[in-house]
Amino acid sequence: MQPDSQKTNTSDPTGNRPLIALRKVGKSYSTPAGEFPALREIDLEIDSGEFVALTGRSGSGKSTLLNLIGGLDRPNRGEVIVAGVSVHQVPENALARWRGRNVGVVFQFFQLLPTLTIAENVMLPMDFCDARPARERRAHALELLDRVGIAEQADKLPSALSGGQQQRAAIARALANDPPIVIADEPTGNLDSETSRAVLGLFRRLSDRGTTVVIATHERDISGVIDRTVELVDGTVTAGLSAATGRPEQGGE
Ligand SMILES: Nc1ncnc2c1ncn2[C@@H]1O[C@H](COP(=O)(O)OP(=O)(O)OP(=O)(O)O)[C@@H](O)[C@H]1O
Ligand SMILES: [Mg+2]
């Protein structure tokens, strides 16, 4: 066992314990005008298998919050606990590996490597984490591409694909090491509305299979596809709205 493998099986399939917990999290950025508080006193819990949308105006802190959950950045205050691991305390040299196994990341601009084929892009995280024998990696990549509906694009370069196809490839790449969590920052920001719906549908199915999915989004009409909305206003969570009722689930003010 590698010491940093961090036991992903701490994800609790019964949902009794939150898979993601933020406690009194604060994050400030240093600016020429002084410290700017991007997040203040965030308390948030997300259960295993939930599909949560972070919403709020531009600058409200959505990307900052996602980056803390994914271990892409560190808080100044408070705790970020993901699958039983205190992410804010994982040493820098172990963090990339922890992320590689536990968090699949999807970006607004896809960020596929342009000189690698689609299949090679999907194999990259497997190579990085040595997650499965090298001879099985391509077959697994093809399986994932099939799951997101673009198996026939496997040997093309990203530039030969449409935006929607590139985003599907990026989702397949995020799933390469079968992470318990997928985070996505405005994953539909560059897609037309029909393609956006298809991509959100992919996330929905992932969540139905037990993956915890957290996205930051400006999409308006998502209540039918997500489990819960968490709205940010000026770096604070105002309410978690249940998709089913549209009413606050916690706090409620
Ligand atoms: N590296 C940085 N340095 C200084 N300030 C930053 C930095 N990154 C973000 N901020 C500030 O922190 C606040 C939150 O930014 P964040 O990117 O999280 O917002 P967001 O909700 O994702 O916005 P958008 O919808 O436009 O993507 C903003 O006011 C932003 O200007
Ligand atoms: Mg953002």
Task: Report whether residue 38 contacts ligand 1, using a CB cutoff of 6 Å.
Answer: yes
C-alpha torsion sign, points 129, 210, 95, 60: positive
**Residue 7 confidence (pLDDT):** 39
How far does the centroid of ligand 1 lie from the alpha carbon of residue 189, in Å?
16
Nearest to 184 by CA among 167, 205, 162: 167
| Domain 48-75+95-229 class in CATH | alpha beta
Its pTM stands at 0.88
**Residue 245 confidence (pLDDT):** 53
Among 28, 35, 62, say which to mutate for ligand 1: greatest number of ligand atoms within 8 Å of CB.
62
**Residue 244 confidence (pLDDT):** 54
**Residue 240 confidence (pLDDT):** 62
Residues in the chain: 253
Euclidean distance between CA atoms 156 and 115, whole angstroms: 10
Find out whether 119 and 160 touch, Cβ atoms under 8 Å: no
Q: Which ligand is nearest to the CA of 61?
A: 1
Residue type at 88 in one-letter notation = H
Residues whose CB is less than 8 angstroms from the CB of residue 95 and which lie 6 or more positions away in sequence, other chains included: 71, 87
**Residue 211 confidence (pLDDT):** 96
**Residue 99 confidence (pLDDT):** 92
**Residue 241 confidence (pLDDT):** 59
Task: Report whether residue 58 contacts ligand 1, using a CB cutoff of 6 Å.
Answer: yes
Smallest CA separation from ligand 1 atom 17, residue:
63
Find out whether 80 and 87 touch, Cβ atoms under 8 Å: yes
Question: Angle at Cα 167 formed by Cα 244 and Cα 80, nearest 5°?
Answer: 60
Rg (CA), the chain: 18
Find out whether 174 and 214 touch, Cβ atoms under 8 Å: no
Q: Which ligand is nearest to the CA of 62?
A: 1
Euclidean distance between CA atoms 130 and 226, whole angstroms: 33
Taking only the tens of pLDDT, the chain with its 253 residues reads 344 443 334 444 444 479 999 999 999 999 999 999 999 999 999 999 999 999 999 999 999 999 999 999 999 999 999 999 999 999 988 999 999 999 999 999 999 999 999 999 999 999 999 989 999 999 999 999 999 999 999 999 999 999 999 999 999 999 999 999 999 999 999 989 999 999 999 999 999 999 999 999 999 889 899 999 999 999 999 866 555 555 555 543 3
Smallest CA separation from ligand 1 atom 31, residue:
59
Q: Which ligand is nearest to the CA of 218?
A: 1
Euclidean distance between CA atoms 120 and 115, whole angstroms: 9
Euclidean distance between CA atoms 64 and 76, whole angstroms: 12
Nearest to 150 by CA among 119, 128, 127: 119
Find out whether 115 and 124 touch, Cβ atoms under 8 Å: no
Smallest CA separation from ligand 1 atom 27, residue:
58
